[in-house]
Amino acid sequence: MSEPDFMVLQEGEEQRAVDVLVTAFTADPVIRWLYPDATGYLTHFPAFLRAFGGKAFTSRTVWRLGEFEAVALWFPPHVEPDGGALIAEITQSVSPDRHVDIFGVLDQMDAAHPTIPHWYLPWFGVDAARQNKGIGSELLRNCLLVVDQDHLPAYLETPNPRNLPFYARHGFEKTGVSQAGACPPVYSMLRPPR
């Protein structure tokens, strides 16, 4: 059996990439705290995802494996999330009683974010029906081959503690945690330049 193809997202494929990530994050602790009911999740999470990671689409640094088995949205050096779009989306779609906690976590995440040039991975996911088959490792390994061409660190946050060993196997080290109120913690991880 041959390995699935690793490729940059092509024009017209953005919605398919978002759909994969929507399936991948159905049990994510922070995202489901923000959008606890299925209707709210399916209605609002795609817009939240685009607000936080949309610049990867315009930077052409979204990679997929095979027929959308897994998707990674990366920001190249000097590209950061659109804070204004993210705040607007949270204000509009998240229950107001959660605003203080999520904005507290986002402030901590911002303060922990590296200030030196780096690659940033805001979204990474494997289609829910294909998880636990090594597909995520294959995609991340291929992504890091591209990232390492710049000899810069790679940075990510994960709200799912189950993902910490996965990223550690790929050279990421936990550097901190952001947590406020009832919002579940978000872990920061950095991979030194290669």
Q: 144-179 pLDDT, tens per residue?
A: 999 999 999 999 999 999 999 999 999 999 999 999
* Predicted confidence band of residue 49 (pLDDT cuts 50, 70, 90): very high
28-45 residue pLDDT tens: 999 999 999 999 999 999
Q: Alpha-carbon distance 85 to 48, whole Å?
A: 9
**Position 133 confidence tier, pLDDT thresholds 50, 70, 90:** confident
Q: What share of the chain is helix, strand, coil (3-state, %, to 5)?
A: 50, 20, 30
Gap between the Cα atoms of 72 and 66, Å rounded? 12
Please give the DSSP secondary-structure letter assigned to residue 150. G
Q: In 3D, which of 152, 30, 34 has the Cα closest to residue 89?
A: 34
Taking alpha carbons only, the member of 145, 139, 102 closest to residue 123 is 139
Q: What angle do CA 139, 144, 149 make, to 5 degrees?
A: 140
56 pLDDT exceeds 60?
A: yes
Q: How high is the pLDDT of residue 110?
A: 95
- Average pLDDT of the chain to the nearest whole number: 95
Q: What percent of the chain has pLDDT over 90?
A: 92
**DSSP letter for each residue of 59-87:** HT-EEEETTTTEEEEEE-TT----HHHHH
Question: For position 4, what pLDDT does the model report?
Answer: 77
User: Cα–Cα distance between 65 and 142 in angstroms, integer?
Assistant: 9
Q: What is the pLDDT of residue 64?
A: 96
Which residues, other chains included, contact 120 with Cβ-Cβ below 8 Å and sequence gap of 6+? 74, 75, 79, 80, 113, 154, 155, 156
Contacts of 31 (CB under 8 A, 6+ apart): 25, 41, 45, 48, 159
Sign of the dihedral defined by the CA atoms of residues 92, 14, 12, 148, in that order:
positive
Whether residue 1 is predicted with pLDDT greater than 60 in this model: the reply is no
Looking at residue 128, what is its pLDDT? Answer: 87
Phi, psi of 89 (to 5 degrees): -65, -45
- The pLDDT score that the predictor gives to residue 132 is 84
Give residue 129's pLDDT band: very low, low, confident or very high (50, 70, 90). Answer: confident
**pLDDT band, very low/low/confident/very high, at 2 (cuts 50, 70, 90):** low
